[in-house]
């Protein structure tokens, strides 16, 4: 099976081709069709098997095919991740796969000044990847509104319990 066979939007398959992705991994082949149907899912796989693409690709497809204006301080996609490092990797993946889409992807993590993150969120974003602590800080300061979240991903949820 190829990524083309999964029915992803052309700008996404073009980005995958440019990144030299040819065929989906088992977790991607199983998860992407379910997510494309809009169904909830839980995926478990070893490190390095492409779990991030398994959730990012169908989300990007949905964003690409259902454009909506952003409202201030909102996000359409919220990805929570337990560490700053993993959060950064997730942002890189969304940016790589969605490079031919006009989408905003932002990172909100602790350990760096919050003011820049607040500014980046002021006009709303398509994808927000955050660590739980920083998301709480942003919510408490009313810098982010979660009313418009369409997709929620808890990456490595077991590590955030």
pLDDT value of residue 33: 96
SS3 category, 161: coil
Nearest to 113 by CA among 97, 132, 134: 134
Q: Which two tokens stand for residue 84?
A: 């700053």
- The mean predicted confidence, pLDDT, of the chain is 95
pLDDT value of residue 102: 93
pLDDT band at 122 (very low <50, low <70, confident <90, very high): very high
Q: b/e per residue, 73-98, with b = 16+ CB within 10 A? A: bbbbbbbbbbeeebbeebbebbebbb
pLDDT band at 157 (very low <50, low <70, confident <90, very high): confident
pLDDT value of residue 123: 96
Residue 161 has pLDDT above 80, yes or no: no
Nearest to 31 by CA among 53, 4, 16: 53
Q: How far apart are CA 136 and CA 144, in angstroms?
A: 9
pLDDT band at 17 (very low <50, low <70, confident <90, very high): very high
pLDDT value of residue 89: 97
Nearest to 110 by CA among 91, 90, 82: 82
pLDDT value of residue 120: 96
Mean pLDDT confidence for 126-152: 97
Percent of the chain with pLDDT over 90: 89
pLDDT value of residue 2: 86
| 37-82 per-position pLDDT tens digit | 999 999 988 888 999 999 999 999 999 999 899 999 999 999 999 9
Q: Which residues pair with 153 in a beta bridge?
A: 79
């Amino acid at each position: 099976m190829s990524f083309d066979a999964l029915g992803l939007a052309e700008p996404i398959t073009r980005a995958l081709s440019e990144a030299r992705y040819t065929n989906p991994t088992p977790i991607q082949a199983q998860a992407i069709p379910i997510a494309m149907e809009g169904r909830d899912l839980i995926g478990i796989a070893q490190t390095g098997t492409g779990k991030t693409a398994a959730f990012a690709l169908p989300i990007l497809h949905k964003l690409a095919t259902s454009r909506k204006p952003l409202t201030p301080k909102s996000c359409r996609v919220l990805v929570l991740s337990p560490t700053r490092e993993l959060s950064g990797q997730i942002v890189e993946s969304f940016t790589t796969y969605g490079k031919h889409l006009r989408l905003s992807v932002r990172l909100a993590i602790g350990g760096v000044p919050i003011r820049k993150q607040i500014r980046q969120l002021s006009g709303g974003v398509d994808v927000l990847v955050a660590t739980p602590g920083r998301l709480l800080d942003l919510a408490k300061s009313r810098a982010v509104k979660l009313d418009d979240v369409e997709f929620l991903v808890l990456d490595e949820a077991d590590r955030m319990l």
